[in-house]
Structure 1
Amino acid sequence: MKNKIMIYLDQEYPNESAQLLEIIEKAYNKNEMITYAAGWVEEKQVPCWFDHLLLLPPDERSRYDARWMASVLEQMCREHEFCCVIIPSTWTGRMLAPLLAVKLESGLTADITDIETLDDKLLMIRPAFSGKVMAKITSKDSQVIMMSARLGAFSYTGLQQKKMQTEPYLFQEPIRSGIRQLGREDKKQTADIREAEVLISGGGGVGRRFDQLYPLSKRLNAMVSASRKSVDSGMASRSIQVGQSGKIVSPQLYIALGIYGSMQHIEGLKDIPYIISVNINKNAPICSLSDIVVEGDAIEFVTKLLERIKKE
């Protein structure tokens, strides 16, 4: 059918995956579409925004075997004849999406951050050339439109509760993929910068003094993030990188310290009410987006702000 759309729910980020409904809201007449959510998740994890929820039975292979997962989802897609399949760009989704696209003989537009329509054509927008340009891609002569989408780039605001029909999905066991798990080690739970209300972000202007941002973050009950330049220079972990090649963030307050503000970094900032920039170059691109611009050295600003906070 031409009006059935499926969003795959990543089992680590089910609620964030459900936010990809904004794509359907922006690209289609949502009232005419039948929306499906599917994944190895529990019903209580899924908001009642969909028409149907297809629950896949718990299976340890869904945590490591993308080939097996793609074979299961292929059966589902062919049975329900979805016209569009959307997969979140998580570490699992980035392996799963191309494997499923090959099985469905469909093209794949990866890591989209926005979507538009033009003359009844769907334009999937994603960064290219290290974020220097934004490419608009359309899918031609494909029965199934497939895309993977960045979490944080979309936020479903309709919030209309539905009488979601939940049903288990029973599938034929695929041929063994040849992948087996040799061992497992649970990763340590760490805070995610996408959940922060206040972000203190360091860029190239901070340099090797990056660690000096943490005392201020503690005082402001904030989290520390970084630009790509800080990550590439080894000063910060990639897990706290903001931008197209990092994470898309939406804090209430974003303090940009020594950040120039390239396109790929700016595209990582979404719906932020207040931005404060500290930069020796008052004409840096990030400054044009800021509510307050402080011209000067970023670390000197941090030191003086800490002193002021301690006095009060």
Structure 2
Amino acid sequence: MFRALILIDNDFVNYSVDLIAVAKQLAGEESVEICGLAINLATQEVKGFDSLICVEEPAIQIKDSRVLTDIIEQVHQKYQFDSILILATEFGRMVAPRLAMRLNVGLVADITDIEVEGQERRLIRPAFSGNMLASIVCDSSPIMVSVHPNVFHEEVRIKEPKMTHFPISELKASSIEVLSVSSEEKKKDIREAKVIISAGAGFTENIHQLEELATELNGSIAASKPLVEQNRAPREIQVGQSGKTVSPNLYIALGIYGSMQHVEGLKNVKDLISVNTDEGAPMNYLANLIVVGDAAEFVEKLKLRLKK
């Protein structure tokens, strides 16, 4: 029996549930038991797990990575899991390495694929700035893994989990003090978009010029890593291995060369249009439709055509 624990991120519950697919792949041909860890979470809509370990304590500071590390360690000490899976959000990237150090095991971060042969499990992740893929063999226990949101998908979520309430034996006081709270308008996450207009280094105009086209197509604007590094686009709209993974129906790549780092951020894209002056750009080999030409000119002509 392969036993896996998934930490449910309260801000990204659906993406956390998708990690069930990762646990199933890790188990290979072994039977698998998948447990979710819910900390101060309303669990009525959480389905698909075999069991749900619930920790309910109002004093828990949910955004303190040290406190959460203590809780996960206590849960693991009682149940002894073969693998612990954590979503690679900004917060998850603080918890996962802390927990790996605490349990004295390695951590394979930002995996994109899994290969299992017998008892050997190989975790695949981009390496060297996304220029190649590394295959990492895990022989320590538990296998510690962090996974980008939206890379793996668990479609069937009907199963009602068995609920278990876990009492915390010792809860350390949080060192985080809330000084003030402010609210801001929630922006549309590009991971939810069905149409994405994405600009790369070959798009020489201001990225805000894509807003009209995005409105016409009821889509969202995204960017490649070079634009973010040039401070021409915010990091929250970056697509790629070090950004976000997207699965739109239509992805329009404007002046994007198509490095492995960027391509790793594209999963299950139905239609891809690549606009590039370089006919040999790798992105063109992934596209359904290739436009050889200037990306900014293409945008202006497409807007005119849509108005007609």
Q: Aligned-pair distance for 1:187?
A: 4.7
Q: Deviations over 1:257-296 (max 9, x none)?
A: 1111111001111111100011111110000110000111
Contact 2:198 2:253 in 1 (8 A): yes
The equivalent residue for 1:18 is 17
Q: Deviations over 1:106-146 (max 9, x none)?
A: 21111112111134211111111111111111223x23111
Give the letter aligned to residue 9 of structure 1.
I
The equivalent residue for 1:81 is 80
The equivalent residue for 1:136 is 135
Between the aligned partners of 2:293 and 2:59, the Cα distance in structure 1 is: 53
The match for 2:306 among 291, 304, 309 is 309
Between the aligned partners of 2:213 and 2:67, the Cα distance in structure 1 is: 46
Residue identity over aligned pairs, in percent, reads 39
The equivalent residue for 1:69 is 68
Distance 1:306 1:58, change over 3 A: farther
The match for 1:154 among 144, 152, 159 is 152
Q: Indicate yes or no: 2:185 matched with 1:205.
A: no
Distance 1:20 1:30, change over 3 A: farther
Contact 2:198 2:224 in 1 (8 A): yes
The equivalent residue for 1:297 is 294
Q: Indicate yes or no: 2:101 matched with 1:102.
A: yes
Q: Deviations over 1:216-258 (max 9, x none)?
A: 0111111110011111111111100010010010000000111
Runs of 4+ in structure 1 deviating by more than 2 angstroms, as ranges, are: 58-64, 160-163, 173-188
Distance 1:31 1:123, change over 3 A: closer
Q: Aligned-pair distance for 1:58?
A: 5.0
Contact 1:39 1:56 in 2 (8 A): yes
- Structure 2, unpaired ranges of 5+: none
Give the letter aligned to residue 151 of structure 1.
P
Q: How do 1:106-125 and structure 2 match up within 5 A?
A: 106-125=105-124
SS at match of 2:99: helix
Q: Aligned-pair distance for 1:160?
A: 5.5
TM-score normalized by the length of structure 1 = 0.93
Give the letter aligned to residue 45 of structure 2.
Q
The equivalent residue for 1:43 is 43
Q: Aligned-pair distance for 1:30?
A: 7.1
Q: How many residues align?
A: 307
- Structure 1, unpaired ranges of 5+: none
Contact 1:228 1:242 in 2 (8 A): yes
The equivalent residue for 2:218 is 221
Give the letter aligned to residue 247 of structure 1.
K
Contact 1:212 1:299 in 2 (8 A): no
Contact 1:226 1:241 in 2 (8 A): yes
Between the aligned partners of 2:234 and 2:289, the Cα distance in structure 1 is: 27
Q: Aligned-pair distance for 1:173?
A: 2.5
Contact 1:207 1:230 in 2 (8 A): no
Q: Aligned-pair distance for 1:39?
A: 2.1
Between the aligned partners of 2:253 and 2:68, the Cα distance in structure 1 is: 40
Between the aligned partners of 1:14 and 1:30, the Cα distance in structure 2 is: 27
SS at match of 1:245: coil
Distance 1:207 1:113, change over 3 A: same
Distance 1:148 1:200, change over 3 A: same
The equivalent residue for 2:266 is 269
